[in-house]
Structure 1
Amino acid sequence: MGRLVPAVTRALDILELFLDGDGTLSAPDIVRRLQLPRTTVHELVTTLAARSYIAQVPGQPGRYRLGVRPYQLGSRYAEQLDLAAEGQQVARSVAETCDETVHVAILEGTDVIYIAKVDSTHAVRMVSAAGRRLPAHCTSVGKMLLASLPEPELAARIPDGTPLAAMTPNSITDPAALREALADVRQRGIAVENRESNPDVSCVAAPVRDRTGQVVAALSISVPMIRWSEERRAELEQLAAKGATELSERLGHRGGA
């Protein structure tokens, strides 16, 4: 574990004081409860107020309450919890239909993180786990999520001329080739991975949208090559799209992008 930053720790200590009592505090209250120097408290309170983590109580000079920023962060955290919980339920339903491994993943930087997963009951199946992180360009969920980004944001994450890491001989390593693949994903609305993260597995993925129409996740079905065929791929594409639509509806999406 890295070294804790004292100033950040003190700022968080101040924010956590608002969990008790009536939810308002003065600078002297903070000095007394945390045993910190008045100058330090003044600087921390000024910084937290400037960033909207706390705000002055109207009509009570010198007293503070939580600002809008903690609410925004908490709302985003709640959205992620809802996505993971709903994603797990939908993934289970899809897996029961096809008896293959189903994932729901989100994009973080240039990686995907699996937030929900349901295993196939077959003896031969994809081995993975919720919480696993993989390079986005090597996965069907990652391709779907990268394809949903605005071009400037995609360019910032995947710069031209910078080779991409390979997980298998089939992995796309050329950013230009990846952009061609993403253009196809946008056109079809489905992403396909052909043994690009695992030499023995192929996957299909469809986009999951929130109530605003923004793509916030992707749902995939992973199949060992011994059960993969073009006919099976077409069936699973339809099933992944159906599952992603159901999850989108659970998140408040009502059609349209």
Structure 2
Amino acid sequence: MGQVPSATRALRVLRFLAAQPEPVPLERVTAAVGIPRSSAYHLLAAMVEEGFVVHLPDEQRYGVGVAAFEVGSGYARQEPLQRIARRPLATLVDRVGQSAHLAVLHGRDVLYVLEERAPGRPSLVTDVGVRLPAHLTASGRAILAQLPAAQVRALYPDRSAFVDRTGVGPGSPSALRSVLTETRQRGHAREDGEVTPGLASVAAAVLDHNGHPVAGVAVTFVATEGDADRLADAVTTTAATLGRRLSGR
């Protein structure tokens, strides 16, 4: 870790703090990021001075500062992922003749951030801004399948974490593990009637430069009419294209 640049350490600290439900003590930071206590103390002090971290002296804890919120707000304003994805998603729709959408994981839901409707196709519930249970959607499964197992377990610790829309779909952690294993083996995710009866979807994850899933690209079609394998090939190609563009490659 001694050869890791200070900027990389600072980003790792910020990412760790942003993932916590509340401010944490210094020891939690050093253990999570893997840097000595003295280095972490000086690094956090610098980040506090710049406003990216806030120090709560009475509790001896550190949390995310206002400057980090401003950075996040800038991302929301610029919408780089949506801007990068708009043309490839339109190309995908032209290629397969089915509606397509882009979703990101938000807790145990997926949030739809971009959609391209194909002419003459059925109306969908996946409008921009809509949230749906991640474990029931192809987009959500594509993303969940690429997450560390511990993170999936934290999201779905027991049966109470699962909701049902149409009476089908995984309803327990073990059932979800099976679905995600099949997704990884297949190379893409599928759902059939689990969101809307009669409609099916295929999806693939968009991976960033670290191999982390940042979004899912999906195509939805009438279950009895679409060629799932052909659509999956097109979706997987589009997701790979977005991953390369997002990483600047």
Question: TM-score over 0.5 for the alignment?
Answer: yes
Q: Is 2:142 the partner of 1:144? A: yes
> 1:152, 1:164 → 2: CA distance?
17
**Once the 2 structures are TM-superposed, how far is the Cα of residue 97 of structure 1 from its aligned partner?**
0.7
Contact 1:210–1:253 under 8 Å retained in 2: no
Partner of 1:203: 201
Match of 1:126 among 124, 141, 165: 124
Contact 2:144–2:180 under 8 Å retained in 1: yes
> 1:252, 1:218 → 2: CA distance?
16
**Once the 2 structures are TM-superposed, how far is the Cα of residue 243 of structure 1 from its aligned partner?**
0.7
> 1:54, 1:158 → 2: CA distance?
31
> 2:121, 2:98 → 1: CA distance?
11
Which letter does structure 2 place at the counterpart of 1:171? G
Deviation per CA, 1:206-238: give whole Å up to 9, x if none.
11012232211110000022423xxx1010010
Indicate how the Cα distance of structure 1 residues 127 and 159 shifts in structure 2: closer, same or farther if over 3 A, else same. Answer: closer
> 2:120, 2:146 → 1: CA distance?
32
Partner of 1:112: 110
Deviation per CA, 1:164-220: give whole Å up to 9, x if none.
111112222222111111111122220001111111210000110122322111100
**Once the 2 structures are TM-superposed, how far is the Cα of residue 72 of structure 1 from its aligned partner?**
7.5
Partner of 2:182: 184
> 1:143, 1:123 → 2: CA distance?
23
Larger mean CA deviation between 177-186 and 160-169 belongs to 160-169
Indicate how the Cα distance of structure 1 residues 142 and 252 shifts in structure 2: closer, same or farther if over 3 A, else same. Answer: same
> 1:118, 1:156 → 2: CA distance?
32
> 2:178, 2:117 → 1: CA distance?
31
Match of 1:234 among 221, 229, 232: 229
Give me the TM-score of the superposition, normalised by structure 1: 0.67
Matches of residues 56-95 of structure 1 in structure 2 within 5 Å?
70=67, 73-74=70-71, 77-78=74-75, 81-95=79-93
Contact 2:135–2:141 under 8 Å retained in 1: yes
Q: Is 2:217 the partner of 1:219? A: yes
Contact 1:100–1:125 under 8 Å retained in 2: no
Contact 1:104–1:115 under 8 Å retained in 2: yes
Fraction of identical pairs, as percent: 28
Indicate how the Cα distance of structure 1 residues 184 and 54 shifts in structure 2: closer, same or farther if over 3 A, else same. Answer: closer
Which letter does structure 2 place at the counterpart of 1:252? S
Contact 1:99–1:122 under 8 Å retained in 2: no
Which letter does structure 2 place at the counterpart of 1:194? D
Contact 1:162–1:175 under 8 Å retained in 2: no
Deviation per CA, 1:91-129: give whole Å up to 9, x if none.
111011111110111001000001110001125343431
> 2:245, 2:69 → 1: CA distance?
21
Q: Which has the larger radius of gyration?
A: 1
**Count of residue pairs brought into register by the alignment:** 193
Q: Is 2:244 the partner of 1:246? A: no
Contact 1:212–1:253 under 8 Å retained in 2: no
> Aligned with 2:203: secondary structure?
strand
| Structure 2: stretches of 5+ with no match in the other structure | 1-46, 54-64
| Structure 1: stretches of 5+ with no match in the other structure | 1-48, 56-67
Considering only aligned residues, what root-mean-square deviation do their CA atoms show, in Å? 2.8
> 2:241, 2:138 → 1: CA distance?
19
> 1:78, 1:253 → 2: CA distance?
16
**Once the 2 structures are TM-superposed, how far is the Cα of residue 82 of structure 1 from its aligned partner?**
0.6
Indicate how the Cα distance of structure 1 residues 154 and 125 shifts in structure 2: closer, same or farther if over 3 A, else same. Answer: same
**Once the 2 structures are TM-superposed, how far is the Cα of residue 253 of structure 1 from its aligned partner?**
6.2
> 1:152, 1:181 → 2: CA distance?
16
